[in-house]
Amino acid sequence: MDIPPIRDRTVLVTGGGGFIGSHLVDALIDHNDVRVLDNFSTGDRERVHDDATVLEGDVCDRDVVERATRDVDLIFHEAAIVDVPATVDRPAETNEVNFEAGLALLEQARDEDARVVLASSAAVYGHPAELPVPETASPEPSSPYGVQKLALEEYARLYTELYDVPTVSLRYFNVYGPRQQGPYSGVISTFLEQARAGEAITVEGDGEQTRDFVHVADVVRANLLAATTDDVGDAYNVGTGTRASILELAATIRDVVGADVPIVHRAARAGDVRHSGASISKARRELGFEATIDLEAGLRDLAGEEQFGDVYEHARTILPDRERE
């Protein structure tokens, strides 16, 4: 997969102290002037590359956003409240971050003649009627989070159509990898922590629910492709095109950690999507995107058993091998 070079640009990464954002900064920093806007409420300043310019502030603060976007060429909007239950409990408050702040960024991009790559989510699909789910599937979000992401996607499309702002929205499926931590870091981090601690791996429900787990290195690749494509004003799935059940995931993590621990079950969460998996045909065709890291290799890397070797070699060209956190 060839990644067109991004060089000599002024780039803003919102949420650049977070999981995905910090890896994007690493991929861009050698040949660009990179700014990070983050309030570090969930992100970690220690993750941010020393050569990046850090603007510590809230993405909802219009004055801060105006300063951060001044004279930028390219914006990667990663800042969000990704806690789905929080959006259910506080839809209006989380809407300010997940939708209104993004709309303000689009307006700034319009003023600055900048391109915008938006982090969206598979949550826009809700409970998909077909698998793997294509972008042509009717979006029926089942949470305020999905509604917020879908609304921002629609505004991005209109900003391209009405104002010639080049935008691309990326619908992330279940992203995992180094630096994923905190209370909303996902099932892989939880299972790894349990296995390493010698605790039972706790599966919600029967474990037959499926997800499409995509490594952060491949997500970074998708972002760089989105930043250079001529196909703008559209949304693309970012996944692997392969699903794994939660039980399969738990068993694989137990194996790669080498932990002789049981897998136990507890009640399923109400409203959880039963099955989720991406069709990446459109992203492959229009962006040239292909996931390069399979789940077992990614898990072995996270468990410290491998450093990816040949599997990770291509990803290293865009995701530098900094200290793993």
Residue 145 catalytic? Answer: yes
Q: Return the beta strands (E) in 20-60 as ranges.
A: 33-38, 53-56
The CB density around residue 9, as the number of other CB atoms within 10 Å, is 16
284-316 CB burial, b ≥16 within 10 A, e <16: beebbbebbbebebbbbbbbeebebeebbebbe
Catalytic residue among 145, 155, 159, 236: 145
- 245, with CB counted inside 10 A (0-12, 13-18, 19+), is middle
Phi/psi for 128 (5° steps) reads: -65, 145
The CA-atom distances, in angstroms, between 286 and each of 35, 175, 205, 283, 290 are 28, 21, 37, 5, 11
* Active site residue ranges: 145
